[in-house]
């Protein structure tokens, strides 16, 4: 049985003369002198492996390649639910690995925006379709981002395309933060309709900065965030194609798992909300023995 868990952590040097650091994660903090790999003199982000029985760190990774206020890390740990921790680590490690300075600056700004990220951890991706429980918009968005990037890698597309697909994949549903099912409707808040129209409202400040730094990246990200035209036969940007494919796969896979849950193995089709019917190939048929 694995008694350890990996968590996003802020590491802060508290004594430079007798080098000592404080590791903070999930509402806990520890002092250490010898459990760090290549520690920095300034505050940084790392992944801490915690012994769940004794609740002490047994390992702390080298600093992630991201410059961000440690308070942002602590805020993310407050918002993050235990079921979201693996996705949170995937997200932060992927952002740290971004090589394009403009995309990294853009994503660091989004991660630092509490008005976006606070609700992001809590929101649902839909009212009654896929990822419809609280907190599942975050899981869906990270899954789409990672899968879009992996598809780009499998096709040996340039690094910049891979990273743009990742960023667009994570933010493709940002407008859903304003949808009525994610806000307090007792006060008649929230909107109904196409969430893509609100992607630009949620991300306005960050997109303005992106546009001023790199118009080509801004155009590609904007294509991903824009409503999909029903009669369009192709996508202007391959990044958009990657994200929309990853989005459909994530939604379909979620529905498939839930619609066939507790169904007998030989049941090959099932109905979901909204009149959708899903089918599966089932287990292999036993071959008949020739007479």
Please compute, for residue 162, the number of CA atoms within 13 A of its CA located in the half-sphere on the CB side: 18
Domain architecture of the chain: domains with CATH: 98-278 (1.10.3210)
pLDDT digits (tens, 9 = 90+) for 100-117: 999 999 999 999 999 999
Q: What is the pTM of this model?
A: 0.88
Instruction: State both tokens at 143.
Output: 């899954």
* Residues with Cβ within 8 Å of residue 106, at least 6 apart in sequence: 167, 206, 209, 210, 213, 217
pLDDT digits (tens, 9 = 90+) for 252-275: 887 777 665 656 666 566 666 666
Pair 11, 60: CB distance under 8 Å: yes
pLDDT digits (tens, 9 = 90+) for 202-261: 999 999 999 999 999 999 999 999 987 766 667 789 999 999 999 989 888 877 776 656
Separation of first and last alpha carbons in the chain: 49
Instruction: State both tokens at 166.
Output: 């990742």
User: Where do the H-state alpha helices sit in 97-203?
Assistant: 101-111, 114-122, 136-154, 159-171, 196-202
Residues in the chain: 291
Torsion of CA 207, 211, 217, 221, to 10 degrees: 30
Instruction: State both tokens at 279.
Output: 């089918």
Q: Tell me, what's the pLDDT at 271?
A: 64
CA separation for the pair 246, 242 (Å, rounded): 6
Provide the angle, in degrees to the nearest 10, between the axes of the packed helices 101-111 and 204-213.
Answer: 170
pLDDT digits (tens, 9 = 90+) for 169-189: 999 999 998 887 777 654 545
14 phi/psi in degrees, rounded to 5: -110, -10
């Amino acid at each position: 049985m694995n008694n350890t868990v990996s968590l996003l952590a802020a590491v802060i040097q508290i004594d430079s003369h007798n080098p000592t650091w404080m590791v903070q994660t999930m509402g806990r903090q520890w002092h250490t002198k010898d459990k760090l790999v290549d520690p920095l003199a300034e505050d940084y982000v790392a992944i801490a492996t915690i012994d769940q029985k004794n609740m002490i760190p047994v390992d702390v990774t080298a600093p992630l390649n991201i410059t961000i206020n440690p308070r942002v890390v602590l805020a993310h740990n407050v918002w993050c639910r235990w079921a979201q921790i693996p996705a949170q680590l995937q997200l932060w490690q992927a952002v740290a690995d971004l090589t394009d300075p403009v995309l990294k600056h853009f994503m660091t700004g989004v991660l630092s925006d509490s008005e976006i990220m606070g609700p992001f951890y809590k929101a649902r991706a839909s009212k009654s379709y896929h990822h419809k429980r609280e907190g599942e918009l975050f899981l869906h968005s990270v899954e789409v981002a990672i899968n879009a990037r992996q598809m780009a890698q499998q096709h040996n597309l340039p690094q910049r395309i891979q990273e743009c697909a990742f960023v667009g994949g994570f933010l493709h549903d940002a407008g859903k933060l304003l949808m009525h099912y994610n806000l307090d409707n007792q006060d008649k808040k929230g909107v109904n309709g196409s969430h893509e129209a609100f992607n630009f409202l949620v991300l306005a400040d960050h997109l303005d900065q992106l546009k001023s730094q790199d118009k080509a990246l801004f155009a590609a990200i904007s294509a991903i965030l824009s409503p999909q035209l029903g009669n369009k036969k192709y996508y202007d940007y391959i990044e958009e194609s990657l994200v929309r494919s990853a989005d459909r796969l994530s939604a379909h896979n979620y529905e498939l798992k839930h619609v066939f849950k507790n169904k007998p193995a030989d049941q090959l089709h099932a109905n979901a909300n909204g009149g959708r019917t899903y089918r599966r190939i089932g287990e292999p048929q036993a071959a008949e023995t020739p007479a």
